[in-house]
Amino acid sequence: MQGIQGEVFFVTGGAQGVGFAVAQAIGTAGGAVAIADISEAGVQAAVERLAQQGIRARGDVLDVRDGVATRDVVARIEQDLGPLAGLVPCAGITRTRPAESMDEDAWRDVLDINVTGTFYSCQAAGRVMLERERGVIVTIASITSFGGQPGRVNYAASKWAVAGMTKSLAVEWGGRGIRVNAVGPNAVDTPMLRKGVPERFVDDIMCDRTPLGRVARAEEIASVVLFLLSDSASYINGAVIPVDGGLTAGFLTHRQGRDYASTALEHARA
C-alpha cells in the first residue's frame, strides 16, 4: 500500500486488541512497526508473533503517562528502525463506575492514560515528523466521542478530549505536513470488552442497537486505520470517522433498526 511500504510506524498499546491488529496490518502492508505497551510479557509475545509473520518489528515497555519516557522511545525507534512516518496511539483503558460514586483513581487513571498519554505520544512523534514536514497520526476516539454513556463519564470525557485533540492538531500541524485523524469504533471484540462488559449486555444491548447486529473485529478497525495512514487518504485531515456498524447513524433503535417506532409505519408495514 502506498505510503506504508518501507515506512516506520509507532503503535502504543500494541500488545493486544486493536493495537496489535493495527501493528499487524501495517506490517502486512510492508511497513516496519514499533509497538509499546505497559506489559513487558505482552510486548515480548507481540513482537515474537509479528516476527513470525515476517514483519520487521521492535517493542518497548512504556507507560504513556510518562512524557520523557515516550520521547526516549521515539528516539530509539528512529535509531533502530529509521525515520518515523506515523503514529497510532492505541493505549487506553476504561473504569466503569456510577458518576456519583466514582473515586478519584477511576477518574484520574482514565483521563491520564486516554488523554494525557495520547497527547504525549502525539507530541513526541509530532516533534520528529515536523522536522521533516511529513507524517501522519491516527488517534483512537470512540462512538463515545459523539455522545455519552451511563457509568462511563470518565471514558466519555476522555474520548471527547481525544476528538478535540485530533482536530486541534490537524489544524495546527496540517500546514506543516502532518495529517491527524481519528477512528471512532463501536464495541470491538477485544479482551478489554470481554473483561469489562457482561456478555448479556453485549448481545442484548450493543448488538441489538447496532444496525449490522454485531460488534466489530479488531481487524476491521485496523483496516480503516491503515487506510488513513496511507497515501490514499492524503486529503483527509481532522476527521473523526465512526467505524461503528451504523450505531451513530440513528437513535431509538431496536432489533438492528427494524423497529419502526411509529404506529403509522407499523400499519404500513403490515
Domains of the chain: 8-192+216-246 (3.40.50.720)
Q: How far apart are CA 192 and CA 172, in angstroms?
A: 33
120 is a catalytic site residue: no
pLDDT of residue 111: 98
pLDDT digits (tens, 9 = 90+) for 144-174: 999 998 999 999 999 999 999 999 999 999 9
pLDDT digits (tens, 9 = 90+) for 7-25: 999 999 999 999 999 999 9
Q: Which of 120, 155, 235, 260 is flagged as catalytic?
A: 155
| Residue 205 CB partners (closer than 8 Å, separation 6+) | none
Eight-state DSSP code of residue 249: G
pTM of the model: 0.94
pLDDT digits (tens, 9 = 90+) for 132-142: 999 999 999 99
Low-confidence ranges of the chain (pLDDT < 70): 196, 261-270
pLDDT of residue 254: 87
Eight-state DSSP code of residue 236: -
Q: Decide if 84 contacts 135 (C-beta within 8 A).
A: yes
pLDDT of residue 200: 83
pLDDT of residue 195: 74
Residue holding cell 417506532? 261
pLDDT of residue 106: 96
Q: Which three cell numbers stand for residue 173?
A: 500541524
Single-letter amino acid, residue 254: H
In DSSP notation, 82-124 reads -SEEEEEE---------GGG--HHHHHHHHIIIIIIHHHHHHH
